[in-house]
Amino acid sequence: MEAELYRCTRPLIGRVENATYRESSNRLYRHNCYIEALPPRWDFKDLVGLITREPYYDEEERKKTALERLELVNNLAKCVFAMPDCIEIERKFSGMLRSGYCDRNPLSPEFVRQLRSGFPSLDLSQGTPVMRTTSCGFGIIGPSGVGKSLMVESILGLYPQVIVHEKYNESIFLQKQLVWLKIDCPFDATLGGLCISFFDMVDAVLGTSYVGEYGIKRHKTSIDTLLQNMAKLAAALGLGVLVIDEIQRLICRRENDPRGMLKFFEQLSNTFGVPVVLVGTLKAYKLFSESFASSRRLAGQGDVLLKNFARDECWKHFLQKVWNYQYTKIPTPLTPNLADVMYEESQGIADIAVKLYMLAQWRVIGENDERITGALIRKVADESLNAVRPILRALSNKDLDALKFVDDIKIEDRDLDDYFRTCAKKVTLSGVLNTLENQQKAITANNADATDSPVGLVASLLLSAGHAREIAINCARQAIDRFARETDIKKATAEAFRLAAESSEPEPVNHLQKEPQTRSIAATVSKTASKKVKTSPANGDLRRICAEAKRKGQPIYETLRGAGHIKPATEFMEVTNG
């Protein structure tokens, strides 16, 4: 149970490859099996192609049913575009990984050959000299939603996570090299929990049980002891780089001293001899602005500060890439006005821009007019982006201090799922919105029983409540017209009762004649189906209903009951004859 507390909810596990050795162009890297087993460095064009993830798209998909197109919109969430920041991070990562392995050659004879290759004038007759470690990593910080974790995971995915060695230069070498490991800060935000997360993640990748051996059984030991155990395991596995994400969680814990955390991360890097990459929001900014950041810059690795897009060519390029994944029946080109609206509502945050575009498409697919407008985007943003308003407001005001105190807020995937399900409910398999208006049209077109139509159902309820037939049908018609775009008949029913209550006193209900009256509704509804009825203003305010009842001298109880606000007792009882 204790291990579950620190277990990563979504562990990042990469691929396993058998070692293939490539001689490095850098003579200092030669004869190092850890380095020579890594993939070669990529040029810019190849790197962009490897990072980019663009799902298949075909304009013909616009012809599919509304339900199918709603599902296709999810393809947007799978897109990854190689932007300049991503290229910069990969370059830093590649150099850091190789540099970190440089002085950790697992084969002593090969280490000597490596030194001779890199330092031709070095005298090795007196033994192997001590190499200065170059294992310092760097930090990646930025506001929520700019794509920090996505960039890191995309870059890590370029490299195998585990490389299996069997033989190197004709010598037996049995070793599993752990190239990278990514862990998240635990939710309890303790340094001890962070150490245990390390062991747990190693177990998830390699199928081992180190968390029991080094972590849980010894969780009451000091941080120094846990660090020593981590260093031993990292050396044994040939760990290339450790990535720690969500470090702002440590800041949020009041008991944690920032200066103590700086010391911890320095000790982590020095004890490990392994590069450490820290990833977090601007809330963790103080960790990157003091001595730990300075020590990394001395090693040639500056921190990466990610920002939201400016209104420049990068934003236009990114938005056009996203906009191409459009599944509405009517194409909507990306105009300067729409681009401005998208920027204003997302403030150039990639994650929010993508999800806002998804929400807008879900909202309009299945409507009579499926064009995407600025008004639609603003409406969807107003309804769905409340959780991220603090960060959008701070970015709009260029308030860096405010951003440092904003939590890691984002549009959760479960919120997107809920919105998708809501939109899917509106759509039938034939691709037509399942609104009251379309239900009524379908009944009429198929010459079906009008009592099964929305107007017929509501009118029947009004008749059951004692209202005259003409009033029941007219009020039902007005209510359905008012809520024609809704899929739930409840609102229309409540409105019909309100209108009926304002029109007249309910007539006494004769249950013996109820069935014939209900059956006669079909003919009346059919006759009035084509008539336009003037709609009264909607108002379900109880105060207004009561005031209207007093003005007409009607009993308030009966008026509220007629408006559907008071349920009849018979609704909850089984009524039997005799």
Query: Has residue 125 got a pLDDT over 70?
Result: no
Most confident stretch, 76-90, 535-549, 552-566:
76-90
Q: Say which DSSP state 247 is in.
A: T
Q: What is the pLDDT of residue 107?
A: 77
Q: Token pair for residue 260?
A: 């103590």
Least confident of 230-244, 398-412, 482-496: 398-412
Q: Strand ranges (DSSP E) for 213-289?
A: 241-245, 276-280
Q: Give the Cα separation of 496 and 361 in Å (integer).
A: 32
Q: How confident is the model at residue 16 (pLDDT cuts 50, 70, 90)?
A: very high
| pLDDT band with cut points at 50, 70 and 90 for residue 69 | very high
Q: pTM for the whole thing?
A: 0.66
| pLDDT bracket for residue 377 (50, 70, 90) | very high
Listed residue (100, 87, 88, 102) closest to 136, CA to CA: 100
- What is the dihedral angle through the alpha carbons of 319, 321, 325, 329, rounded to the nearest 10 degrees? 70
* Beta-sheet pairing, 171-178 with 162-168: antiparallel
- Domain boundaries, given as residue ranges, for the chain: 2-305, 313-425, 441-572
What pLDDT is recorded for position 286? Answer: 63
Within 10 angstroms of residue 27's Cβ, the number of other Cβ atoms is 14
What phi and psi, each to the nearest 5 degrees, are found at residue 324? -65, -25
- Mean predicted confidence (pLDDT) in 501-516: 54
pLDDT at 131 over 90: no
Q: Which of 5-14, 419-428, 484-493 has the lowest mean pLDDT?
A: 419-428
160-208 pLDDT per residue, tens:
999 999 998 888 888 899 999 999 888 777 778 888 889 999 999 999 8
Please give the class, per CATH, of domain 2-305. Answer: alpha beta
Mean confidence (pLDDT) of the chain: 75
